[in-house]
């Protein structure tokens, strides 16, 4: 009996053992193939990074070397600097540097990118490079040369000692040291050197882009938890004995605020959450987590309720400019209107439930930071007809109005806004009311006239 059983089981076990060995071999081969592919990708990204940093240094030198009155060459050089910087940033993102301190270098490259882009897109014939900008280019040329030299030193060690990036990734993930950590040490050295560079004057265009929009800059009386509780109950329109939980966020930081969670005893469905600024108690956001039923109302009906809601809450003269629909929820974008001009920086996003059109939440951080009681609006130098001539000949206009927007330099610009269609797609086009240039063009899914 045992002989028969052995005669049956032995071949079966042999086949299973061979199968397991084959499976293990295939798994190991696949794992090795993945590791080799990852290593090749890391090596390519690293060597490309070293190459593009050297090219960046060269392009900065080329821009400085041409005649100081050569506007076209300055623009070409700055565009190339921006392109090389973008390539270098992309390659850094492909390397396993998440846990390695390389943020100073990334920030430095980001500022070079912004500086070169913002400078290259302006009209250099009317506004040529200033002496300060030439000095900035000279400093960037010197500093980028040092970064390129340090990266090439790391590259030489990688090639000479056949170092592997997979070992670096393992070392960073496990927070352990490997036998030869020349790559890690090299990148730390580069970042340390960049961090010691003196702060430069990047000019007003880049400074405005890097300027942090924080609630800390707002004026107003510091709020207490009792103040926030009163404001939350009033805004939520709930009984004064409602349960309110107050949480202080980011105390002492640039985004210090209060969160109020209100539980309405008279309603079992959902609670309300609101964020207020620490100074002045301005409402930043509102959210009612009630359950939303099936869609029953259309855009026009829900917009009527959203507009009435904002008006009742003290947000006067708001105009809806955009609508997006997601299932049984809708989102409107509103902007302030002053003297017949739409003020795009003063924006509020309102969320509505399409079961009954009632507001379930909104975001007002842009409005809080940008709002001015009496904003100075410049006069239009062009007439509507003159601005209309700048449109595409095939543009089918459906409406026009004056709007104040921010350009790529974060400067407020008065524009004629034209809404309409071209090639079957809806757009709104902003034409500068001073010189007729096209400031911006946006595709819109659901136009609101």
215: in domain: no
Structural domain span for residue 62: 16-210
CA separation for the pair 75, 70 (Å, rounded): 9
Q: pLDDT-derived band of residue 36, with 50, 70 and 90 as boundaries? A: confident
150: in domain: yes
Q: Report the pLDDT value the prediction gives residue 170, as an integer from 0 to 100.
A: 64
Residue with tokens 């390397």: 95
Q: Which of 13-27, 70-84, 412-426 is predicted least confidently? A: 13-27
pLDDT in tens, 250-308: 776 666 889 999 986 655 556 899 999 988 899 999 998 888 889 999 999 999 999 99
CA separation for the pair 245, 239 (Å, rounded): 15
Tell whether 269 and 346 lie within a shared domain. yes
Beta strands in 293-395 (DSSP E): 318-326, 329-338, 341-353, 359-363
156: in domain: yes
Tell whether 136 and 281 lie within a shared domain. no
Q: Is 125 helix (H, G, I), strand (E, B) or coil?
A: coil
Q: Which of 104-113, 136-145, 182-191, 309-318 is predicted least confidently? A: 182-191
Closest-CA residue to 227 (of 279, 265, 287, 264): 279
Tell whether 317 and 433 lie within a shared domain. no
8: in domain: no
**Mean per-residue pLDDT for 420-448?**
89
Q: Is the pLDDT of residue 380 over 90?
A: yes
Q: Report the pLDDT value the prediction gives residue 264, as an integer from 0 to 100.
A: 66
379: in domain: no
Distance in angstroms between the alpha carbons of the first and the last residue of the chain: 91
Domain final residue pick, 331, 347, 370: 370
Tell whether 200 and 115 lie within a shared domain. yes
- Selection from 17-26, 36-45, 231-240, 396-405 with the highest mean pLDDT: 396-405
Q: pLDDT-derived band of residue 334, with 50, 70 and 90 as boundaries? A: very high
Domain final residue pick, 175, 210, 245: 210
Tell whether 162 and 283 lie within a shared domain. no
376: in domain: no
Domain final residue pick, 179, 210, 241: 210
Closest-CA residue to 129 (of 139, 115, 142, 113): 115
Tell whether 118 and 245 lie within a shared domain. no
CA separation for the pair 366, 186 (Å, rounded): 42
How many structural domains compose the chain? 3
Query: Taking the C-alpha atoms of 145, 147, 148 and 153 in order, what is their torsion angle to the nearest 10 degrees?
Result: 130
Q: Is the pLDDT of residue 320 over 90?
A: yes
Q: Report the pLDDT value the prediction gives residue 178, as an integer from 0 to 100.
A: 45
Q: Which of 15-24, 356-365, 385-394 is predicted least confidently? A: 15-24
Residue 359 β-bridge partners: 352
Decide if 417 contacts 428 (C-beta within 8 A): yes
Q: pLDDT-derived band of residue 14, with 50, 70 and 90 as boundaries? A: low
Tell whether 49 and 166 lie within a shared domain. yes
Tell whether 78 and 203 lie within a shared domain. yes
Cβ within 8 Å of residue 19, ≥6 positions away? none
- Phi and psi for 170 in degrees, rounded to 5? -65, -40
Q: pLDDT-derived band of residue 21, with 50, 70 and 90 as boundaries? A: low
CA separation for the pair 123, 116 (Å, rounded): 13
Show the DSSP H helices in 196-324 as ranges.
204-210, 225-236, 299-312
Tell whether 100 and 153 lie within a shared domain. yes
Tell whether 202 and 55 lie within a shared domain. yes
10: in domain: no
236: in domain: yes
pLDDT in tens, 44-102: 887 888 888 888 888 888 888 888 778 888 888 888 888 888 888 888 887 776 555 67
CATH of residue 347's domain is 3.30.310
Q: Report the pLDDT value the prediction gives residue 229, as an integer from 0 to 100.
A: 93
pTM above 0.75, yes or no: no
Tell whether 232 and 301 lie within a shared domain. yes
CA separation for the pair 414, 434 (Å, rounded): 8
Tell whether 75 and 149 lie within a shared domain. yes
Q: Report the pLDDT value the prediction gives residue 179, as an integer from 0 to 100.
A: 47
Q: Report the pLDDT value the prediction gives residue 395, as an integer from 0 to 100.
A: 92
Q: Long-range contacts: 175-183, Cβ < 8 Å, 24+? A: 182/154, 182/157, 182/158, 183/154, 183/157, 183/158
- Selection from 2-6, 28-32, 119-123 with the highest mean pLDDT: 119-123
pLDDT in tens, 184-217: 677 777 777 777 676 666 665 555 544 555 544 5
């Amino acid at each position: 009996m045992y002989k028969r059983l052995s005669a049956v089981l032995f071949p079966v076990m042999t086949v299973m053992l061979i199968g397991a060995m084959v499976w293990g071999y295939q798994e190991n081969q696949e794992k090795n193939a993945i590791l080799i592919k990852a290593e090749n990708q890391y090596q390519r990204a690293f060597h490309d990074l070293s190459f593009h940093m050297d090219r960046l240094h060269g392009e900065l030198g080329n821009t400085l070397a041409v005649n100081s009155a050569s506007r076209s060459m300055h623009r070409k050089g700055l565009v190339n600097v921006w392109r090389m910087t973008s390539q270098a940033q992309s390659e850094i993102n492909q390397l396993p540097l998440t846990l390695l301190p390389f943020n100073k270098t990334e920030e430095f490259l980001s500022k070079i990118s912004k500086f070169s882009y913002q400078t290259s897109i302006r009209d250099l014939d009317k506004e040529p490079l200033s002496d300060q900008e030439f000095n900035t280019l000279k400093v960037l040329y010197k500093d980028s040369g040092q970064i390129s030299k340090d990266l090439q030193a790391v590259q030489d060690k990688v090639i000479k000692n056949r170092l592997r990036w997979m070992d670096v990734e393992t070392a960073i993930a496990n927070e352990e040291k490997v036998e030869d950590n020349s790559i890690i040490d090299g990148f730390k050295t580069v970042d340390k050197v960049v961090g010691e560079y003196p702060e430069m004057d990047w000019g007003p265009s880049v400074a405005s882009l890097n300027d942090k929009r924080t609630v800390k800059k707002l004026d107003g009386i510091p709020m207490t938890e009792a103040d926030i509780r009163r404001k939350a109950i009033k805004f939520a329109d709930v009984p004064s004995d409602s349960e309110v939980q107050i949480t202080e966020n980011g105390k002492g930081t640039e985004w210090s605020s209060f969160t109020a969670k209100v539980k309405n005893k008279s309603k079992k469905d959902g609670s309300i959450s609101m964020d207020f600024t620490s100074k002045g108690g301005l409402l930043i956001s509102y959210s009612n987590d009630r359950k939303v039923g099936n869609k029953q109302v259309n855009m026009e009906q829900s917009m009527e309720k959203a507009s009435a809601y904002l008006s009742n809450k003290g947000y006067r003269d708001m105009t809806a400019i955009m609508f997006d629909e997601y299932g049984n929820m809708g989102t409107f974008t509103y902007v302030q209107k002053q003297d017949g001009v739409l003020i795009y920086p003063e924006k509020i996003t309102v969320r509505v439930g399409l079961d009954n059109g009632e507001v379930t939440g909104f975001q007002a951080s842009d409005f809080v930071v940008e709002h001015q009681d009496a904003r100075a609006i410049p006069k239009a130098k062009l007439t509507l007809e003159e601005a209309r001539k700048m449109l595409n000949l095939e543009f089918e206009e459906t409406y026009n109005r004056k709007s104040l927007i921010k350009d790529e330099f974060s400067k407020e610009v008065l524009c004629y806004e034209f809404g309409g269609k071209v090639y079957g797609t809806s757009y709104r086009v902003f034409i500068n009311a001073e010189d007729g240039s096209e400031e911006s063009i946006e595709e819109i899914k659901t136009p609101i006239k």
